[in-house]
Amino acid sequence: MSLVSGHLITYSTNEKTLFRDLTFAISPGDRIGLVGPNGAGKSTLVKIILQKLKSETGTLAHQRGLRVGFLEQTPEFNPEDTLLSALTSENDDPDVWTKAYEWIAKLNLSQFPESTLIKDFSGGWRKRVALARELMKSPDFLVLDEPTNHLDVQSIMWLEDFLSHSNFAFLVVTHDRLFLQRVVNKIWDLDPKNPNFLFSSEGDYANYVLNKKALLDSLQRQEQVLKNTLRRETEWLRRGAIARQTKQKARINQAETLKDTVEDLSQRNRNQSVGISFAESEKNAKKLIDVQDLSKSFDERVLFENLNLIVKSKDRIALMGENGSGKSTLLRILLDQDSPSTGTVMKFEKLEFSYFEQGRDTLQPELSVLKNIVGEGDYVKFQGSYVHVNSYLERFLFFGNKVNLPVKQLSGGEQARLRIAQMMLKDSQILILDEPTNDLDVETLTVLQDALESFPGAVILVTHDRYFMDQVAQKILAFPPTGSPKKEILTFADFEQWETWYLQEKEWLQSSASRATSGSESANAKGKTKLSFKEKFELEKMEETILGLEKELAVLQIEISRIEVISNSSKLIELSEKIQKLQIEIEKKYDRWAILNEKSKA
């Protein structure tokens, strides 16, 4: 029996029909990827499936008692929510506390005190808490809207593994092609080009690509056949063939119907793609940037060190690392928005940058699309020529009254296109792109990819879209993972090479933490015997004591994520309590250390 079924679903806006007469079913075991161009109605269809929006026509049915979860693209929490209250406050399950600790462990959230405020989490961790909140409902069916946005590649890999081993049906809206390839067993393609709007393809994403191509080829052939038939019919009618009046009238009606069909097919097959191309400021020097012995630290924390890098024309460099590893910091240093701790950055004398910031901060949300491109006047200078601003914006699929909309009313994909439109008006020798792929549909990603490949200058890229990165980048600069004692940035040829190294590195770090168990216990024992001596001796041993406690914490965090622990609720709660106590103890030691340090200076 289907979990969710829709029959003859239609939905229109004031401007157009998004889709008409959709019929579909979602069954247990389905892992569906919903794809399609921006503006095709994916978000609208999701809202209808979730019964948050009613369709104009048709019926939607949920299986009786169906438990549904929804991971929003930007999850919302109450300002006072903590890690634990976010999972338990609106859940009346008698086992709510056991489940909360279970999902905190499974989703690697146990490294944070349960009293941590959600507003203090980064975007990636906030999304993981939101996922835990939905999984607390024990859903039969889960909808995930752009779950990879704001996650680093490591978190995306974790989410892939989690969903691949899940026991519930899900529908995921994403443009991340490698993510789809690894987690789904069916693709729904919502596209006005499709004969019935919604095209369903069984199997993985690679199989869908082949099936979609076959469909489009078939539609092109059908359009050509109908055009030829229409041409013959039109010629026959113009000749004024001698025939009975009823037959003549039938042929005329048939020709009119055929004409409407051809026009509809032509409209569907018309490919509206974004026109993206970047210009360089003037002839590039061979060497644009020369980085020597660069390092960056914040207080006692070293982000990276000893980086040597030469950036030349036509270089395509991708930065990879966990959130907070230093990718954006390195970009800011290259842009002169931050200073290195040590080392030098030498640049070509007339070097010009174009910078796509992750938050698209250059856009002014209250102003219209038009005003964000040109403050006054009707023309923009694009690659040496003056172009009417409306014509320029049509390159980015902003037609008619769309140009007068305030930016805050645009979708995420439309805002990304507008920010690229701004960048293209500036001539530069280096493009620095921080997460430009968020919210872009596959067609626009392909056009952007082609534009970056043909750009004569250099490209430095940060993106979680691994397929896009692998197609664009010639080399990857990899930042060390959390917990690694090595702080050098390594270079890899492609994503596959990086992924192999990263998995080996994480395995080595976990093994090292496990081997440190006996050593940490010994260090803690020594630390406790020293605590009764005078404050001077206590201060000398404080660093060793804290190090031992942090090693013990790392071992417990690995232990709590083991399958045999997760399935044992009493052991799970016991370890969670130990972790929380240990975190409090470490904080106290740091406070004590600060007091003793202050006293020693007196």
Q: How far is CA 209 from CA 203, 239, 400, in A?
A: 10, 45, 32
pLDDT for 292 equals 94
pLDDT for 518 equals 46
Residue 218, both tokens: 């078939």
Binning the chain into helix, strand and coil, the percentages to the nearest 5 are 45, 20, 35
pLDDT for 413 equals 80
* Cβ-proximal residues to 220 (8 Å cutoff; 6+ apart), any chain: 269
Q: How far is CA 301 from CA 68, 305, 339, 541, in A?
A: 42, 11, 16, 20
Q: Contact 334/460 with Cβ under 8 angstroms?
A: yes
Low-confidence ranges of the chain (pLDDT < 70): 15, 222-275, 277, 279-285, 509-510, 512-537, 561-563, 566-567, 569, 597-602
Dihedral of alpha carbons 144, 130, 135, 88, sign: negative
pLDDT for 333 equals 93
pLDDT for 230 equals 65
pLDDT for 7 equals 95
pLDDT for 402 equals 86
